């Protein structure tokens, strides 16, 4: 019996000891659930884009992620642990409509609204800003450069200008207009208004009605003239009725016609000729023309030149040299000319010197000198006077 009690006591002690052992094991506090708080829940951004930020408050051990609902709104960082600042950035909004997106951080939502782009004012480049038409009229085109959404219109200020097609347009394009024939004998001007710009339009006057041709007869006198070698002038008489047209021109560059070179009615035509000293006479016409089947009349001008001769054509000098003179004949080809022909004596050798001042004219003489010959050889030189030559020979020592 005693053994049974001892056994029961031992079992009881063991149970109590085991219970006490379980009660003595240590236990920790139960972890709290994570909470998240954002500093703002609404944000706005301008149309040209920009950035903003939101502060997230939570426990240091709380893990979270962040996402954006739109591609145009990016965030940084996209995940972290504990409190943090999240930056969000919006791209420029090219639409005129505002847009909205959200940023979700843990279980919190931030709504971001971005303003729409400010509409660009319509501008219009109009060309050309002026046009000119002949009296017959015609068509013209005005081009307008602008944005596709920009509307514009065209209007004409004058009844003789009319548009072809619609005058209310939108976006870039061109508009065509027609100008009527001008029946008036005066220039007229008008204008268009295209996309707010003024386009000037000018038109030539109608040509005058041609007058009834007059019965015109023409005569010219003289039809032959002989001029001297020197600078001279002469007259030609053109006879016709008032209003009968004519023209006059020179047939050579040595003839000069006094203006005007055209006109109507009777006229004394004046002309001059330049100096000519050639031995063979020259000839050219003064051309008088009028609008008839006979065309007109040539007045032939003959200009006589000059004849030149030397009283001697050769002279001989000793080695010592010396001086001499020679007579020159400068005679006009026309026996009626009393003005002697001009001439110039020019030495062709360095040892021969013309000492009379040049130029000279008519029948005159000139002096010259010959240097001493120290070359040891005979020598020959020349003095040229227009078409004549004086040959000079000089002996050696």
Per-residue pLDDT of 150-203, as tens digits, reads 999 999 999 999 999 899 999 999 999 999 999 998 999 999 999 999 999 999
Last residue of a domain, one of 282, 304, 326: 304
The verdict on residue 174 lying in a domain is yes
**Gap between the Cα atoms of 12 and 45, Å rounded:** 77
* Structure tokens given for 281: 């006479």
Residue span of the structural domain in which 384 resides? 307-394
Q: 390, exposed or middle or buried, with CB in 10 Å at 0-12, 13-18, 19+?
A: buried
Last residue of a domain, one of 114, 135, 170: 114
pLDDT band at 6 (very low <50, low <70, confident <90, very high): very low
354 and 319 together in one domain: yes
Task: Round the average pLDDT of the chain to a whole number and report it.
Answer: 89
41 and 106 together in one domain: yes
Look at residue 71 in the predicted model and tell me its pLDDT: 93
Q: How far is CA 163 from the centre of its chain?
A: 32
Look at residue 13 in the predicted model and tell me its pLDDT: 45
Q: Is 372 helix (H, G, I), strand (E, B) or coil?
A: coil
Look at residue 28 in the predicted model and tell me its pLDDT: 55
**Gap between the Cα atoms of 271 and 269, Å rounded:** 7
Look at residue 357 in the predicted model and tell me its pLDDT: 96
Last residue of a domain, one of 203, 235, 264: 203
The verdict on residue 277 lying in a domain is yes
For CA atoms 4, 6, 12, 15, give the dihedral sign: negative
53 and 103 together in one domain: yes
pLDDT band at 334 (very low <50, low <70, confident <90, very high): confident
- Number of domains, the chain: 4
56 and 102 together in one domain: yes
297 and 350 together in one domain: no
255 and 291 together in one domain: yes
Return all residues near 99 (Cβ < 8 A) that are at least 6 apart. Answer: 70, 72, 93, 113, 114, 116
Find the CATH number of the domain harbouring 276. 2.60.40.10
pLDDT band at 30 (very low <50, low <70, confident <90, very high): low
The label of the residue with tokens 């000279």 reads 360
| C-beta atoms surrounding 345 within 10 Å | 24
Look at residue 293 in the predicted model and tell me its pLDDT: 64
247 and 320 together in one domain: no
Q: Which range (32-36, 245-249, 304-308) has the least confidence?
A: 32-36
**Gap between the Cα atoms of 296 and 244, Å rounded:** 13
312 and 300 together in one domain: no
Q: Which range (37-46, 150-159, 290-299) has the least confidence?
A: 290-299
User: Do the strands 79-81 and 42-45 form a parallel or antiparallel pair, or are they unpaired?
Assistant: unpaired
* Structure tokens given for 2: 């005693």
Torsion of CA 21, 24, 29, 31, to 10 degrees: -20
The label of the residue with tokens 């962040």 reads 66
């Amino acid at each position: 019996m005693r053994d049974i009690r001892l056994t029961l006591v031992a079992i009881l002690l063991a149970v109590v000891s085991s219970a006490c052992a379980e009660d003595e094991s240590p236990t920790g506090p139960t972890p709290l659930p994570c909470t998240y708080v954002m500093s703002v829940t609404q944000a706005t951004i301008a149309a040209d884009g920009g950035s903003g930020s939101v502060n997230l408050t939570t426990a240091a051990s709380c893990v979270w992620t962040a996402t954006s609902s739109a591609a145009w709104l990016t965030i940084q960082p996209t995940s972290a642990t504990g409190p943090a600042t999240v930056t969000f950035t919006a791209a420029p909004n090219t639409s005129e409509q505002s847009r909205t997106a959200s940023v979700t951080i843990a279980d919190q939502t931030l709504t971001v609204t971005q303003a729409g782009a400010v509409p660009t004012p319509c501008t219009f480049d109009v060309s050309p800003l002026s046009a000119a038409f002949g009296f017959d009229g015609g068509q013209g085109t005005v081009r307008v450069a602008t944005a596709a959404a920009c509307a514009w219109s065209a209007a004409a200020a004058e009844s003789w200008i009319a548009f072809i097609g619609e005058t209310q347009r939108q976006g870039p394009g061109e508009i065509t207009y027609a100008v009527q024939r001008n029946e008036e004998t005066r220039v007229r001007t008008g204008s268009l208004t295209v996309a707010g710009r003024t386009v000037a339009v000018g038109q030539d006057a109608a040509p005058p009605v041609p007058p009834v041709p007059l019965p015109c007869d023409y005569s010219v006198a003289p039809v032959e003239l002989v001029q001297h070698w020197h600078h001279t002038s002469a007259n030609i008489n053109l006879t016709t009725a008032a209003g009968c047209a004519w023209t006059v021109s020179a047939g050579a560059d040595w003839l000069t016609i006094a203006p005007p070179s055209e006109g109507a009615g009777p006229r004394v035509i004046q002309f001059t000729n330049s100096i000519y000293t050639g031995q063979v006479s020259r000839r050219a016409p003064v051309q008088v023309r009028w609008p008839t089947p006979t065309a007109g009349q040539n007045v032939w001008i003959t200009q006589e030149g000059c004849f030149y001769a030397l009283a001697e054509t050769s002279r001989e000098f000793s080695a010592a040299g010396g001086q001499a003179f020679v007579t020159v004949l400068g005679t006009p080809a026309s026996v009626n000319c009393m003005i002697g022909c001009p001439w110039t004596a020019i030495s062709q050798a360095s040892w021969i010197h013309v000492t009379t001042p040049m130029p000279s004219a008519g029948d005159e003489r000139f002096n010259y000198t010959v240097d001493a010959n120290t070359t040891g050889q005979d020598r020959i030189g020349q003095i040229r006077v227009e078409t004549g030559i004086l040959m000079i020979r000089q002996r050696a020592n």
